[in-house]
Amino acid sequence: MLEVRHLTKRYDRVLALDDVSFRVKEHQVMGLLGVNGAGKTTALSIITGCMPPGEGQVLLNGMDMQEQPRACRRLIGFLPEEPPLYNEMTVEEYLHFVCRLREVEKTEIPEHVEEILEKTALKDMRRRILGHLSRGYRQRAGIAQALCGAPPVLVLDEPTVGLDPRQVTEIREMIMELGKEHTVLFSSHILTEVQQICSGILILHQGRLIHEADMSGLEDGAEKQTYTMVVLETEGDVPAAIRSIPGVRKVRGIQRGEGRCRMTVECSGHGDDVRVRIFHLLSSMNAPILQLSAQRNSLEDVFLRVTGEGEAKS
């Protein structure tokens, strides 16, 4: 669907992108992860045809962005870091306006705008002036304008930045929902965010693509999580009991001594549900958990190595 080949971009002395290549498959939600200055905005601006690359190619369904910019841009809806809103227009007027710019058939515009208002939960705000909207609703309006013309590919630059926690959750849920119908590429500097939403992750650092992870083959679209545990084994076989919990893949490295059982528990999906199940089961077995710690997965290791722990937890 979307392919980037050997993208390189230099601003004077700064090499913002250095030979970046990747593919995004149809209906994939791909996260482009990197700290400030990693090159995310530059990459997305080139991919959406807003800026020419120094070197390299952007292909959409095999068409080259530089050779067929008009046809390629029709396939992409773009939310830049600052949504391009006309503050004096109402939400509805603005979406009609963007539809006309995107050459949506005049007779189809009302129904199309209705669908977009529904998808972005903006129906109640349709008559509000854009300049009067809260940051969260402005971001929804920004996503709504990206949907005008029904482009198959959505490119979103840091869509959750500057939002409060509730708005962040709403926008993340919206992106996951949009991923059912669109191919989505979005940038973020928050590892947990891309792990939560994406089926694929690209890590950019100082203009280079340093890691790619495809998570689509894993259960629940989530990564494996591993815990180290120490449990007081007062009665029954604790490792055997933990093995029977849904979501537990493997219990290994079992060591027993002084009534304690130390083990490593591999779970599929994110750990919260599995940890709750482990807690209830062990509590019913009268087996207190003395220690439970999550081991980092490979993606966390890569991200923390290049960014430093503090930023990854932001």
Binding site for ligand ATP (CB under 6 A): 11, 14, 16, 34, 36-42
Residue 20 or 242: the one with the smaller Cβ distance to ligand ATP is 20
Cβ 118 vs Cβ 49: under 8 Å? no
DSSP classification of residue 121: T
What is the number of other CB atoms lying within 10 angstroms of the CB of residue 1? 18
Residue 20 or 99: the one with the smaller Cβ distance to ligand ATP is 20
Residue 11 or 279: the one with the smaller Cβ distance to ligand ATP is 11
Report the nearest approach of ligand ATP to the CB of residue 304 (Å): 18
Report the nearest approach of ligand ATP to the CB of residue 260 (Å): 46
What is the number of other CB atoms lying within 10 angstroms of the CB of residue 229? 21
Closest CA to 287 of 232, 241, 244, 240: 232
CA distance 11 to 291: 51
Residue 9 or 138: the one with the smaller Cβ distance to ligand ATP is 9
How many helices (H) and strands (E) the chain has is answered by: 11, 14
CA distance 305 to 280: 35
Report the nearest approach of ligand ATP to the CB of residue 54 (Å): 12
Report the nearest approach of ligand ATP to the CB of residue 145 (Å): 20
Report the nearest approach of ligand ATP to the CB of residue 207 (Å): 7
Residue 42 or 226: the one with the smaller Cβ distance to ligand ATP is 42
CA distance 17 to 55: 10
CA distance 277 to 228: 16
CA distance 5 to 19: 8
Residue 56 or 152: the one with the smaller Cβ distance to ligand ATP is 56
Report the nearest approach of ligand ATP to the CB of residue 4 (Å): 14
